[in-house]
Amino acid sequence: MTRFAPAIVTISIALAACQPPADKDATAAGHEAENLLTANVAENAGEPQRSILRPEVVPEVEEPKIEPADALIGFGASAMALDDAAKTALDALIDTPAMKEGGPITLRGHSDSRGNDGDNRVASRIRAEKVRDYLVGKGVDKARISIVALGESRPIAPNATEDGKDDPEGRAKNRRVEAHVALPTIVVPPPVVANQSEAAKKNEAAKQ
């Protein structure tokens, strides 16, 4: 048995030589990748989260939808002038996204039923013009504004009580201007012919 000992030692040494050494490079590469991932996370903080499988794909952020705006401008306290409450309502309308989009504005003037219909139409127009002038004074383009005088035809409250007596509160509610701000109309341009001269030549040739 003694003579075989060197062979066993030789085999053990050979087996040890076949074992892969500790991969220091792989360990260093792992730490480097981990550090790079941490740096990327910090760099992308605050950005839209990208797809794991397709990093180039960034999810779209939906824009907030803008709606038309409306305001009721009362002329209760002063029949033909804007009071503080009316000005506050108009200032709020000016700050709406719809107004800032630059769409058309329609002002519908109304009146109570006191007096004849013709005079009430004139009064309702004057009220709408007061609103228009205030908006223009605040920087709104006058060309955007249209006025409709409706007079006493569309009350929102009774002008008289059930027994026929005058109803001052109801008439005050009817003296008003209804403002509506629509969204701008998107105009799609007609298709452009790539080579109009060639098309004209073909038309002339066809006529001949």
SS3 for 53? coil
Q: What is the pLDDT of residue 198?
A: 64
Question: Does the model's pTM come out above 0.85?
Answer: no
The full length of the chain comes to 208
**Is pLDDT above 50 for 13?**
no
Provide the pLDDT for residue 11: 44
**Bridge pairing between strands 105-109 and 145-149:** parallel
Percent residues over pLDDT 90 in the chain:
55
| Residue ranges of domains in the chain, CATH in brackets | 69-181 (3.30.1330.60)
Quick check: 162 pLDDT over 70? yes
Residue where the block lists tokens 């003694």: 2
- Which pLDDT score is estimated for 63? 72
List helix spans (H) across the chain: 5-18, 24-43, 84-94, 97-101, 117-137, 168-174, 196-207
